Amino acid sequence: MRPASAGPLAPARLPRPLALPDFPWDSLHPYRARAAEHPDGVVDLAVGTPVDPTPGIAQAALAQAADAPGYPTAVGTSRLRGAFIRWMARRRAVPGLTSEEVLPTIGSKESVALLPLQLGAGPGDLVLHPRTAYPTYDVGARIAGAVPVPVDTDADPESWDVDNQARVSMVWLNSPGNPDGHVLGVEQMARVVAWARARGAVVASDECYAELAWEEPWASSAVPSLLDPQVAGPQGRSGLLVLYSLSKQSNLAGYRAAFLAGDPVLVSAVTEVRKHAGLLVPAPVQAAAAAVLDDEVHVEAQKALYRARRETLLEATDAVGLVNDPQSVAGLYLWLSGPPSMSAYDMVGAFAELGIVVAPGDFYGQAGVGRVRMSLTGTDERVAAATARLRTSQAADLFRS
């Protein structure tokens, strides 16, 4: 028993407040509830969660590998690493990756959220990320105790408002971008690489929408990868990491299958942490991931579905006067602005009256104010329902300026 003379107990130090933002999706509850009242049911285009079936080859490989009594390794099977290395060469113009340069992860969101911590960023470090962005880059910096700094990654880095003396540890790129669908060209990526290397910062590029480009030149040639030798330059992959995910291209979001690739020094540092922490991709998921990486037919078929949905939704939203960002040329979303009199939440409310759920642009940073993000991840039937609703006089009235 603690004697009374021992004085007052020290205040608890844990949990350390991480200053995490509110989970943005919670603010959509009332709109979702309103949309659900539609007599023909809700069309939920707020979240980019795939809705088409997981390819048969993935399901078969998963089932075949179901007997998995032992622990998988953190680095993954050589079959999986080989499949990813071949895929990077074939689809992403990144030749010659070695086994030490690739690592499987449990989906890529965990890497976005934990990479700064896993690389050892902490208080005093700045983690730069696109100013219009998936919120998890900001969260990942905070988890590490570092400072998230939004910058315009479409612009020349010399124009970024970052003090020359500041300790920039990481720069995130996201191309094609969520939510804005922008693609970074080779020159822009190379400019960011040069800027970051001059400051000793790591560049991490989240490329999970790379297979989903709609407009030329990207639709028929690969969207540039950070690890493309034209971007990486004579220093090779030093200081560079790419994240890729099978969630979108192969409807594998429920399996949690993704990768890190790049500088072997960085990959090895992350591997060490993952080994200690037991962050291991389940063996049956590794088998499924390897199977889908060797097949391009299902990716083409999925891409055709999204292309058709995108065209249908573009026409329907255009009919009520909404304008897609002209630079939104790839990825899984429309990035729509409406009449100047309507805020993002006004538009979310108008869509909810039609039984459609979309996300307010405010979720993605200051530059998203006045926009909404509409995902292409509705079934053909639900996308047709949304389109029919957007073609009514009620819709025209709701979006009238």
Ligand X SMILES: Cc1ncc(COP(=O)(O)O)c(C=O)c1O
For ligand X, the binding residues (CB under 6 A) are: 48, 107-109, 112, 134, 174, 178, 206, 208, 245, 247, 253, 258
Using the minimum distance from each CB to ligand X, give the nearer residue, 231 or 257.
257
Using the minimum distance from each CB to ligand X, give the nearer residue, 138 or 399.
138
SS3 sequence of 219-245:
CCCCCCCCCCHHHHCCCCCCCEEEEEE
Q: Is the dihedral of CA 99, 104, 110, 112 positive or negative?
A: positive
Please report, for residues 72, 86, 298, the alpha-carbon distance to residue 60 in angstroms, rounded to integers and kept in the order given: 19, 21, 14
Using the minimum distance from each CB to ligand X, give the nearer residue, 48 or 264.
48
Helix axes 109-118, 264-277, angle to 10 degrees: 100
Backbone angles phi, psi at 287, to 5 degrees: -65, -40
Residue entry with tokens 């088409």: 52
Closest CB 68 distance from ligand X, rounded Å: 21
Using the minimum distance from each CB to ligand X, give the nearer residue, 377 or 387.
377
Which amino acid would we find at residue 166? A
Which tokens go with 80? Answer: 């999986």
Using the minimum distance from each CB to ligand X, give the nearer residue, 351 or 364.
364
Closest CB 2 distance from ligand X, rounded Å: 46
- Cα 21 off chain centre by: 18
Closest CB 212 distance from ligand X, rounded Å: 11
Which tokens go with 180? Answer: 């804005």
Which tokens go with 10? Answer: 């020290």
Closest CB 179 distance from ligand X, rounded Å: 8
Using the minimum distance from each CB to ligand X, give the nearer residue, 173 or 342.
173
Which amino acid would we find at residue 283? A
- Cα 177 off chain centre by: 8
Closest CB 387 distance from ligand X, rounded Å: 23
Closest CB 137 distance from ligand X, rounded Å: 9
Which tokens go with 53? Answer: 């079936």
Closest CB 25 distance from ligand X, rounded Å: 12
Closest CB 183 distance from ligand X, rounded Å: 13
Q: Could you give the CA distance from residue 104 to residue 110 in angstroms, rounded to a whole number?
A: 11
User: Is the peptide bond preceding residue 234 cis, with omega within 30 degrees of 0?
Assistant: no
Closest CB 244 distance from ligand X, rounded Å: 8
Q: Could you give the CA distance from residue 26 to residue 385 in angstroms, rounded to a whole number?
A: 25
Backbone angles phi, psi at 365, to 5 degrees: 110, 175
Please report, for residues 146, 162, 206, the alpha-carbon distance to residue 120 in angstroms, rounded to integers and kept in the order given: 10, 21, 19
Using the minimum distance from each CB to ligand X, give the nearer residue, 208 or 395.
208
Using the minimum distance from each CB to ligand X, give the nearer residue, 42 or 253.
253
Using the minimum distance from each CB to ligand X, give the nearer residue, 141 or 350.
141
